[in-house]
Amino acid sequence: MNATKLSLWALPALAASAIALSGCGGRSAANPTTISYHQVGVCRSYDVPTGTEKARPDQGFAVFKIETIDNSKQNSSFQLDPERLYVDQTKPEDKDKSLTFQNRRFITADPRFAKSMGVKPLEGAIIPANQKVDVNSFVVVPLSTKDPSGADQSSFDLLYDTSTTEKQWGTGEIVTKKTNPPDAKYSVIENCKELALK
């Protein structure tokens, strides 16, 4: 009788192990969907039909290329919302405070940038379960070129916001992976056309 009880208790654990080993399962912080990207650079202006769009003083446009979205370990589709991508410029002392204290710089959905640069903008999409998709699209984030201490900054990390009205903090189910070398350096370029958009 004891052996039977042990076997019944072991079944859920075995099933969970089988799912983990197969690589498919529910999306979680331990088993996330991954958005891979690289930073192209930072620039201060780009042309639009009505003239030139310029960044404010001490600001610039950080340009990123979204390379792939890896949903291959998931048993459900992922609905990509580009406007959830952001750069976190929150001061360290405000990181643990509520979202009202956060300085999150979200992408601009202005289609003029991609049109001006001749590149493909990132659009909303449904990424099927068990698939890794090549995206090869660009996003731009208007942000400060000074870090919270006031020093010049030109390297930025892109994040995906998974917070909701019910959950103040993200769940870690969607992660971003920067593919630039960790020691990559960037100059702030005056005209975005000078960036190597490839």
Ranges of each domain in the chain: 28-194
Q: How confident is the model at residue 198 (pLDDT cuts 50, 70, 90)?
A: confident
pLDDT in tens, 113-150: 999 999 999 999 999 999 999 999 999 999 999 987 88
Taking the C-alpha atoms of residue 75 and residue 128, their distance in angstroms, rounded to an integer, is: 9
pLDDT tens figures, 35-61 = 999 999 999 999 998 999 999 989 999
Q: Residue 100 — very low, low, confident or very high, per pLDDT cuts 50/70/90?
A: confident
